Amino acid sequence: MRAGSVVMDSSAWEKSMDLKLADLNREMPRAMARIGLTMQDLAQDMVPKVTGHLARSITHEEGTDGAGTYWTDVGTNMHYAPYVEFGTGDAGSMSRGEIHRGIVTPVTYTAGWPGVRARPYLRPALYDYADTYKRMVREAVQRAIR
């Protein structure tokens, strides 16, 4: 060995990293569930309530692809949900419901029809709280690497 050389036995380091990865694989599903529930609660609070059916239909689901990608979906299966989110007719297009933080509407506006203004609830629950979700992921990673 020459003076000034550094020798490292990587087997201990690799074992430590494997343990940290296992910890991360335990923490991330919890973080995704927490994010999904938070986003669901926010959307349910923000959605306009006439009968309450739309609010009750908002749910979340989380999962993984098994290769290190974790996800959470928040949404509703109510057929009229996009019309509430994005608005309809002239009122929808003028309420800027067609764009929220750069996300363009999938709803086609019919010019000349009065319609209703947009009342977004899913996009704000996602984009307006992005820093909160990032913090939740960061905290999960920090717990995993301790």
Q: How far apart are the first and last CA of the chain?
A: 34
Confidence of residue 18 (pLDDT cuts 50, 70, 90): low
Residue 30's domain comprises 13-145
- The answer to whether residue 61 is domain-embedded is yes
High-pLDDT (> 90) share of the chain, %: 42
pTM: 0.76
Domain count, the chain: 1
Q: Is residue 74 part of a domain?
A: yes
Q: Identify the pLDDT of residue 46.
A: 96
Q: Give the pLDDT mean for 55-75.
A: 90
Indicate whether 5 belongs to any domain.
no
pLDDT in tens, 67-116: 878 889 999 999 999 889 888 877 777 665 555 555 555 566 677 778 88
Closest to 91 in 3D by CA, of 74, 112, 106: 112
Q: Is 122 exposed, middle or buried (0-12, 13-18, 19+ CB in 10 A)?
A: buried
Could you tell me the CA-to-CA distances from 122 to 67, 71, 72, 143 in Å, in that order?
A: 28, 16, 13, 29
Residues across the chain: 146
Say if residues 104 and 85 touch (Cβ distance below 8 Å): no
* Cβ proximity of 88 and 77 under 8 Å: no
**Quick check: is 122 in a domain?**
yes
Please indicate, yes or no, if residue 8 is contained in any of the structural domains. Answer: no
Q: Across the chain, how many H-helices and E-strands are there?
A: 6, 4
Mean per-residue pLDDT of the chain: 81
pLDDT of residue 2 exceeding 70: no
